[in-house]
Amino acid sequence: MLLAVDIGNTNIKMGLFKGKRLMRTWRLATNKAANLKYYTKLLRKLLAKQKADTIDEVIICSVVPKLTRIVKRALFLILKTKPLVLGEDIPAPIKNLYKKPKEVGQDRLANAAAAFKRYAGPVIVVDFGTAVTFDVVTARGGYLGGVIVPGMELSLRALTGKADLLPEVKLSRPKALLGRQTISSMRSGLVYGYSFMIEGILKELKKGLKGRPYVVSTGGGASLMLPYCRSINKINENLTLEGLMEAALEGRKSEKIIKKERK
């Protein structure tokens, strides 16, 4: 059994794999101010129904360095298994063609690896997280690069935080493009505005790729935006976790090869 952990700026998502099969998932809010005691207690409670001795491996992907250390230690105390950190202990299973490879977030590489494994290339991943990211994988499976823009919730908070007369609004689907009230106008502007931007970026990215690129989306806002983005072919909410699982599998293969060579 493999426990995959994706630590993001907004949420921490965990998935339990048996082989390649995802058995269950957990999602919890990221608390950047919390300490080891807090996360040990929280994770112990979440994993209470899963016997610790059945989890053989733990792999972590993180964009929050402080929490990487805390969550890694907490899981070790609970499971007695040393977690592997993607990008530190084990590489993402994809060729990184970025000009400065170390600058790419490991979550983006995990997404790219899983997308190529499942949908072949060329493929484009759109991740609706704290930021909306676009990641491009070539026909041969190389991570080419991408685009980063502020996420939808982030943009909404910035708008209401800076404009005193605008109310707090919950992000949801607008009934029409033309808003007849302030709240409906804000929702329309955000959802349709992002959809037009996403469609435009995808159109331009596709021009630089041979063949017909497949587009897969993931992240918290993927299901909200799907009806407004015709270029997106599929939603895979567990793409990052699947990328972590693929990295763990590749790591096992590498270990077996090294052991054979030593013999």
pLDDT > 90? residue 241:
yes
Give me the catalytic one of 53, 56, 89, 107. Answer: 107
Return d(Cα 62, Cα 48) in angstroms, integer.
Answer: 23
Predicted TM-score (pTM) of the model is: 0.91
Q: Considering the chain, what is the average pLDDT of its residues?
A: 93
My answer on whether 36 and 134 are in the same domain is: no
To the query of whether residue 164 is one of the catalytic residues in this protein, the response is: no
Q: Is 170 exposed, middle or buried (0-12, 13-18, 19+ CB in 10 A)?
A: exposed
142-153 average pLDDT score: 96
My answer on whether 123 and 157 are in the same domain is: yes
Name the one residue in this structure whose structure tokens are 């790729």.
209
My answer on whether 185 and 210 are in the same domain is: yes
- Number of domains observed in the structure of the chain: 2
My answer on whether 65 and 124 are in the same domain is: no
User: Which of 55, 85, 115 is at the close of a domain?
Assistant: 85
253 CB neighbour count, 10 Å cutoff: 10
Return d(Cα 206, Cα 16) in angstroms, integer.
Answer: 34
Residue 261, in any domain of the structure: no
Encode pLDDT of 8-50 as tens digits. 999 999 999 999 999 999 999 999 999 999 999 999 999 987 7
pLDDT band at 210 (very low <50, low <70, confident <90, very high): confident
My answer on whether 117 and 74 are in the same domain is: no
My answer on whether 8 and 34 are in the same domain is: yes
pLDDT score, position 256: 53
Residue 164, in any domain of the structure: yes
* 8 Å CB contact between 239 and 137: no
pLDDT score, position 172: 92
pLDDT score, position 51: 67
Residue 126, in any domain of the structure: yes
φ and ψ at 10, to 5 degrees? -105, -45
DSSP 32: T
Residue 260, in any domain of the structure: no
136-141 average pLDDT score: 96
Name the one residue in this structure whose structure tokens are 């990184």.
96
My answer on whether 127 and 223 are in the same domain is: yes
My answer on whether 41 and 6 are in the same domain is: yes
Name the one residue in this structure whose structure tokens are 């001795």.
53
Q: Residue 88 pairs with which residues in a beta bridge?
A: none
Q: Enter the tokens of residue 62.
A: 């993180």
Nearest of 72, 60, 140, 144 to residue 106 by alpha carbon:
60
